[in-house]
Amino acid sequence: TEIRPVKDATPVKTLPDAQTVTEVTHWTDRLFSFRVTRPASLRFRSGEFVMIGLLKDDGKPLLRAYSIASPSWDDELEFYSIKVQDGPLTSRLQHIQPGDQIILRPKPVGTLVHDALLPGNRLWLFSTGTGIAPFASLIRDPQTYEDYDKVILTHTCRDVAELEYGRKLVENVRNDELLRELIGDGLDKLVYYPTTTREESPKMGRITALLSDGTLFKDLGVDDFGAENDRAMVCGSMGLNTDIKVILEGFGLREGANSEPAEYVVEKAFVG
């Protein structure tokens, strides 16, 4: 038999992994969230991220890392994003509407997962801006409340309007029939600690400052923060991540990874 070269075969154009937008919410002129259909085969661990994006004019995909904000039991996927007016992706992504398609590569990865932490009693979730997204997934995951006695979510934004996504999220968790049972009747298993830095609000200041000067612990009645009981996940700006690492290490916590679980894990929030 003759084997013919395939040199003039046209290359197969790989179709992007398209998903359909089902809902878009604009929180401020800098922030929006959206929901898309979930590929039937996609399994992920709460806290992980995927690459999502749009096709460029030249037909090539433009992708960025986005934390999945929805819990793994949800039949849709939710994302929370900033809008950067001259950002290559978000300048266009902010205009998506229900019915539009986006590209979603179904390969979830990330370090903000339960598996990267050793067992502990208290779980601290420190976030700024859109860094709350992976924690939006984790605080809707029943395992979070099965693994820990107390879950503390801190969220720091410039102004009060930027806290709204998180405020609503926590309200929905507390009103959810199933999660409510896990959080307890007093709803005290989930503590929400929002702060602002550029607008007056009940609690002001960077979380790093509130940690360093003891305000956070005083407010929550914690006097034994340390490597024995406490586990932390951090997601925010480069500045937050760098500064809080120093503080956590000062308390004796060590950075963990999927391959080597320890007391805290860090991931950079998507920044446009």
We find the least distance from the C-beta atom of residue 174 to ligand A2P, in angstroms, to be 24
Count of residues in the chain: 272
| Whether 182 contacts 143, CB under 8 Å | no
User: Per CB under 6 A, does 157 bind ligand A2P?
Assistant: yes
- For ligand A2P, the closer of residues 136 and 179 by Cβ is 136
Distance in Å, CB of 64 to ligand A2P, minimum? 16
Q: Which is nearer to ligand A2P, 180 or 206 (CB)?
A: 206
CB of 195 to ligand A2P, least distance (A): 8
Number of residues that bind ligand A2P (CB under 6 A): 15
* CB 193 to ligand A2P: min, Å: 13
Judged by CB under 6 A, does residue 239 bind ligand A2P?
Answer: yes
Residue 233 beta carbon to ligand A2P: minimum distance, rounded to whole angstroms: 15
Each residue 22-61 as x (binds ligand A2P by CB under 6 A) or -, in order, gives ----------------------------------------
If the CB atoms of residues 105 and 203 are measured against ligand A2P, the closer one turns out to be 203
Q: How far is the CB of 53 from ligand A2P (least distance, A)?
A: 21
Please identify the residue of the shown chain whose CB is closest to the bound ligand A2P: 239
Choices 37-45, 95-103, 150-158, 246-254 (CB under 6 A): range interacting with ligand A2P: 150-158
Distance set, CA 84 to CA 166, 189, 217 (Å): 20, 36, 35
Q: How far is the CB of 17 from ligand A2P (least distance, A)?
A: 29
- What the block records as the tokens of 135 is 């924690």
Site for ligand A2P in 179-208 (CB under 6 A): 197-198, 206-208
> Which residue ranges make up the site for ligand A2P (CB under 6 A)?
128-129, 156-158, 197-198, 206-208, 236-237, 239-240, 243
